[in-house]
Amino acid sequence: MLDKINLKYKRLLLFLAMFLVTLLAYNLSFKQALSSIVLHQELSGNVVENNFEFSAFPQIVRKDSFYSAVLKGYQVRKEDPDNRLWQAVSGMAISKKVLIGFSPELNKEPDTNLLDSGLLIKKFLIKGGYFNMVGFLDTLGQSRGNGKVLRLKLSPPKERNIDAHASMLEMSLTLIGKTL
């Protein structure tokens, strides 16, 4: 049947078939790809033009400024012996797997003689197993610049407490040292 058709009609049929295949390919795949490229360009242009002003941006800025202020508060100055001592002792306690707490004596007046002489006395409360506490005290004894042990009181666990840390030994540790 194709042999009987004129060359002019064959070319016309070929161009018509190519046009139909191109139209079919455009509708099935190229149309979606081209529209997604155009949409991406429009959205990219809008984000740059709006300067990131979407609804959650003010909240993100507030959250970032809050966390930045908190993180800046954790920086310990060398002139602050209380923070340096707490950082050193709590680091040792964490490495030896004992719980540590700071015991401020708020109702006590500061001793001016100690302040004038440059002495620093700090009390820490520590809970943990016997071997962990021995390891902590050994590490504390070998460390330099944290002062010396003024008082140490080790007490057995309290039987009336019913919690996860009730079976741990309790230790009250008081350190004394000169401020630099």
CATH code, domain carrying 123: 3.30.70.60
Among the candidates 44, 75, 106, a domain finishes at 75
Whether 165 and 83 share a structural domain? yes
Q: Which residues constitute the domain of residue 14?
A: 1-75
Among the candidates 58, 75, 92, a domain finishes at 75
Whether 94 and 164 share a structural domain? yes
Q: Tokens in use for 108?
A: 């006590």
Measure the CA–CA gap between 2 and 17, rounded to whole angstroms: 14
pLDDT digits (tens, 9 = 90+) for 91-102: 888 888 888 887
Among 100-114, 122-136, 144-158, which stretch is predicted with the lowest mean pLDDT? 100-114
The residue-averaged pLDDT of 145-156 equals 84
DSSP the chain: -GGGS-HHHHHHHHHHHHHHHHHHHIIIIIHHHHHHHHHHHHHHHHHHHHTS--TTHHHHHHHHHHHHHHHHHTPPPTT-HHHHHHHHHHHHHHHTT-EEEE---TTSPP-HHHHHHTEEEEEEEEEE-HHHHHHHHHHHHH-SSS-EEEEEEEEPPPSS--STTTTSEEEEEEEEEE--
Whether 53 and 13 share a structural domain? yes
- CB-based burial label for 136 (10 Å; 0-12, 13-18, 19+): buried
pLDDT digits (tens, 9 = 90+) for 4-46: 778 888 899 999 999 999 999 888 888 888 888 888 888 877 6
| Strand 148-155 relative to strand 119-128, pairing | unpaired
Question: What pLDDT, on the 0 to 100 scale, is given for residue 15?
Answer: 95
pLDDT at 173 over 90: no
Whether 38 and 119 share a structural domain? no
Among 63-72, 151-160, 166-175, which stretch is predicted with the lowest mean pLDDT? 63-72
Among the candidates 49, 75, 101, a domain finishes at 75
If one counts the domains in the chain, the total is 2
pLDDT at 157 over 80: no
The more confident residue out of 73 and 21 is 21
The chain-wide mean pLDDT, for the chain, equals 77
Whether 93 and 22 share a structural domain? no
Whether 125 and 36 share a structural domain? no
| Confidence band of 160 (pLDDT split at 50, 70, 90) | low
